Amino acid sequence: MKILFSPFSPYVRKCLVAAHELGLNDKLQLLPSNAHPVNRDQEIIRDNPLGKVPTFHSDDGQVLYDSRVICEYLNDLARGSLFPASGTARWQALTLQALGDGMLDAALLARYEDVARPEALRWPEWRAAQLDKAETALAHLDARPALLAQRVDIGAITVGCALWYLDLRFADFGWRDRHPQVAQWYATFGQRPSMRAQWAL
Binding mask 39-68 for a second copy (x = CB under 8 A): xx----x---xxxx-----x-x-xxxxx-x
Nearest partner of 107 among 53, 164, 156, 68, judged by Cα: 164
**Rounded Cα gap, residues 130 and 113, in angstroms:** 10
CA dihedral 80, 86, 90, 94 (to 10 degrees): 90
Check residue 179 for interaction with a second copy (CB under 8 A). Answer: no
Nearest partner of 2 among 95, 80, 69, 70, judged by Cα: 70
Binding mask 2-21 for a second copy (x = CB under 8 A): --------------------
**Rounded Cα gap, residues 113 and 133, in angstroms:** 15
Radius of gyration of the chain (CA): 17
Which region, judged by CB under 8 A, interacts with a second copy, from 24-32, 70-78, 157-165, 186-194?
70-78
Site residues (CB under 8 A) for a second copy, limited to 137-166: 137, 139-140
**Residue numbers of the site for a second copy (CB under 8 A)?**
37-40, 45, 49-52, 58, 60, 62-66, 68-69, 72-73, 76, 86, 88, 91-92, 94-95, 98-99, 101-103, 105-106, 116-118, 121-123, 125-126, 129, 132-133, 136-137, 139-140
